[in-house]
Amino acid sequence: MKCRLLLALFLLFSITWNAHAQTAEASRITVSATPAPTGNDQVTDATSDTESTNTRPGYAPLSVMTGRAGDWMFSYQFMFDNMDGNLVDTDEISTTQILRTFAFAPTSMTMEMHMFTGMYAFTDRFNLTVMLPYLVKDMDMRPREGSPFTEHSNGIGDLEFLATYTLWQTSDLRHRVLIKGGNGIPTGSIDAEMDGFPLEYCMQLGSGTVSLLPGLTYLGQAPRWGWGFNCDATIQLGTNDHHYRFGNRYQPSVWVARDVVDSLTVSASAKGEIWENVHGADPRLNPSDQQTNDPNRQGGKRLDAALSITIHPRFLRGHQFLFEGQFPVAQSLDGPQLRRTWLFHCGWQYDF
């Protein structure tokens, strides 16, 4: 697992370094950036030949939002996460083996997320983002005795407020560093039930606790190339009404992007994720009944590889459309726990 992880990161770093080297002698950046330059440092939007300071479409994830003073930005993102089969650490474990220990075993799960986002830039360096997800979860269960069944939950998740500030930039805007900070508000339910029985930790829609949302982003760019690094964290505080809190989550990622034509950008990325076990325990859940009820079997770590295309046509100025496929390269779970098999992500963003 460690070898595959290091190999994936090395390959992506090599591509990024090559992109930087090819453009090191460029004397003028012709892609858009933020915050706004001054004087003779104005940047030209390659799709419109007009001055712009917004991030070039496709050069950074949709979650990294930048803009000029007074700009608004809205986006909708859809994510479909497919999980099938179980792992203990990095080893597969069959349903039959799980049912020797537990009365129930999850066999597969899907999670749909509809994310609605709005951003306003107060200055060229500072903006505020609000995000609200709507979640749909389904998990197929097999009992030791009886017929298989499917659990279901749906509703809004936790509301998030996030501030982003440009901490540092070079005079030519080739390199920038952003810092982020915010809060998660527990608007999602932790009382999801089916047939009068409380659902497991992974089937709940919210956390039930306030969270801190620190983050750090590096953005690099040159003519027709973009690259960067991002690390976000979710730090849960306190305990909820059911006497537990979800573990902290850390999400580092690195990417490189390239304009194919003026209206089409492709990118490759490596996305890591580390999430901790649940702290405390919900007294309504019996951990000996099934693995998804055990607070000590919820953590894990994973490295995914992703390929995406971003379409930003000339005739729809300010609009961009993202399509991305994501697949696990390596994952280690405090299982038995369902493993990810693939993830599809698409989105629309409009800034004005």
What residue ranges define each of the domains in the chain, with the CATH number in brackets?
2-351 (2.40.160.40)
| Cβ contact 43:37 at 8 Å | yes
- 34, 102, 200, 243, 297 from 286: Cα distances, Å: 51, 11, 10, 14, 13
Rounded to whole angstroms, how far apart are CA atoms 131 and 187? 12
The whole-number pLDDT of residue 336 equals 97
Helix (H) or strand (E) holding 261: strand 249-261
The whole-number pLDDT of residue 55 equals 72
The whole-number pLDDT of residue 48 equals 38
How many CA within 13 A on the CB side of residue 67? 23
Q: Is the N-terminal amide bond of 35 cis, ω within 30° of 0?
A: yes
Rounded to whole angstroms, how far apart are CA atoms 3 and 192? 40
What residues have CB less than 8 Å from 18, skipping those under 6 apart? none
Nearest alpha-carbon partner for 164 in 225, 77, 237, 73? 73
| Cβ contact 320:348 at 8 Å | yes
- 112, 192, 289, 294, 321 from 285: Cα distances, Å: 24, 12, 8, 8, 42
Each residue's pLDDT expressed in tens, for the chain with a length of 352 residues: 544 444 444 444 444 444 444 444 333 333 333 333 333 333 444 333 333 445 788 899 998 988 899 999 999 999 999 999 999 999 999 999 999 999 999 999 999 999 999 999 999 999 999 999 999 999 999 999 999 999 999 999 999 999 999 999 988 889 999 999 999 999 999 999 999 999 999 999 999 999 999 999 999 999 999 999 999 999 999 999 999 999 999 999 999 999 999 999 999 999 999 999 999 999 999 999 999 999 999 999 999 999 999 999 999 999 999 999 999 999 999 999 999 999 999 999 999 9
Helix (H) or strand (E) holding 254: strand 249-261
For residue 333, give both structure tokens. 């779970």
pLDDT digits (tens, 9 = 90+) for 30-66: 333 333 333 333 344 433 333 344 578 889 999 898 8
- 222, 250, 266, 275, 316 from 24: Cα distances, Å: 8, 32, 21, 38, 32
pLDDT digits (tens, 9 = 90+) for 273-329: 999 999 999 999 999 999 999 999 999 999 999 999 999 999 999 999 999 999 999
Nearest alpha-carbon partner for 41 in 219, 220, 173? 173
- 152, 206, 245, 254, 348 from 190: Cα distances, Å: 14, 6, 11, 33, 29
The whole-number pLDDT of residue 54 equals 59
Rounded to whole angstroms, how far apart are CA atoms 49 and 64? 24
The whole-number pLDDT of residue 173 equals 83
